[in-house]
């Protein structure tokens, strides 16, 4: 994870805080919370690794979990501390650290974890293995985690709505049929790695995790950015039902391989 990535998130703290409240991006929030409700224990101490300004930490605290938040960005960490204080929420700790080196977190201390963001930006497999090794270390035996990846198959589809001009370069877009790395900052995003579902799941298994399930965060509604933005304003009742259906469909094989965000639920073996 480079200084390019750290600088990007330092500059985008407010945007990242509000991102999951946008009509299309909210799909990610509701399906992730659905996975937590379905596969996590009802109480305990969770690690939100790569939690940025704390949007998921807030949701977890409101559900009664104890939470430790870790992020690479100093500005995101400072924002999270201020926001949690403003909301009157008590967090166990807020730490600035790289997901590949979680020395500040004790071994086998957590009942569950989120690793949502760091693996987007660790472009080398060895670095991702290191981050997954740290995740495995801090989890108690049998504890679950949600691990997020960017899926090039889903981005190929979503790009029709989000960046249609990119399809003028056929070979570039063909590249999204396989694993793909973006260097520097392009298309309003930063350095990133996009892994197909087979590659992502393979890396999790090689890191010693049991894969319980995986989900497409956007469910059946993947790629429908403009349509959902319009629906959320014009017909809130219909939009609410889309969110409900996204939860219900996020694990279905016919949808989960073609969404932008792949969320794997893994468990550390006993």
What is residue 176's DSSP assignment? G
| Amino acid 58: pLDDT | 98
Q: Is 23 exposed, middle or buried (0-12, 13-18, 19+ CB in 10 A)?
A: buried
| Amino acid 184: pLDDT | 63
Domain count within the chain: 1
Residue 217: pLDDT above 80? Answer: yes
Average pLDDT over residues 238-264: 96
Residue 263 backbone dihedrals phi, psi, to 5 degrees: -115, 110
What CATH number corresponds to the domain at position 225? 3.40.50.150
Residue 70 backbone dihedrals phi, psi, to 5 degrees: -130, 135
Q: 210-216 and 261-267: which strand pairing?
A: antiparallel
Residue 187: pLDDT above 90? Answer: no
As a whole number of Å, the end-to-end CA separation of the chain is: 30
Taking each helix axis from N to C end, the angle separating 197-206 and 125-138, rounded to the nearest 10 degrees, works out to 50
| Amino acid 183: pLDDT | 72
* Gap between the Cα atoms of 97 and 77, Å rounded: 10
Predicted confidence (pLDDT) per residue in 230-241, tens digit: 999 999 999 999
Residue 30 pLDDT grade (very low, low, confident, very high; cuts 50, 70, 90): very high
Provide the 3-class DSSP secondary structure of residue 106. Answer: coil
Range of the domain at 187: 3-267
């Amino acid at each position: 994870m480079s200084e390019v990535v750290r600088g990007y998130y330092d500059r985008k703290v407010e945007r990242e805080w509000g991102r999951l409240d946008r009509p299309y991006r909210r799909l990610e929030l509701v399906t992730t919370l659905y996975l937590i409700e379905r596969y996590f224990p009802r109480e305990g101490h969770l690690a939100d690794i790569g939690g940025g300004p704390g949007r998921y930490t807030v949701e977890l605290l409101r559900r009664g979990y104890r939470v430790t938040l870790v992020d690479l960005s100093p500005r995101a960490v400072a924002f999270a501390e201020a926001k949690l204080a403003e909301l009157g929420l008590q967090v166990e700790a807020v730490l600035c650290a790289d997901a590949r080196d979680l020395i500040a977190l004790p071994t086998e201390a957590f009942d569950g974890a989120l690793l949502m963001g760091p693996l987007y930006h660790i472009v080398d497999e060895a670095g991702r293995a290191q981050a997954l090794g740290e995740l495995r270390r801090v989890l108690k035996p049998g504890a679950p985690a949600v691990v997020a990846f960017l899926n090039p198959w889903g981005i190929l589809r979503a790009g029709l709505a989000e960046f249609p001009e990119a399809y003028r370069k056929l070979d570039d877009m063909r590249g999204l049929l396989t694993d793909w790395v973006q260097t520097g900052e392009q298309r309003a995003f930063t350095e990133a790695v996009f892994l197909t579902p087979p590659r992502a799941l393979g890396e999790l298994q090689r890191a010693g995790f049991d894969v319980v399930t995986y989900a497409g965060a956007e469910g059946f509604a993947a790629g429908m950015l403009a349509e959902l933005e319009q629906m959320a304003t014009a017909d809130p009742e219909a939009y609410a039902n889309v969110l409900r259906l996204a939860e219900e469909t996020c694990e279905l094989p016919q949808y989960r391989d073609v969404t932008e965000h792949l969320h794997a639920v893994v468990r550390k073996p006993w």
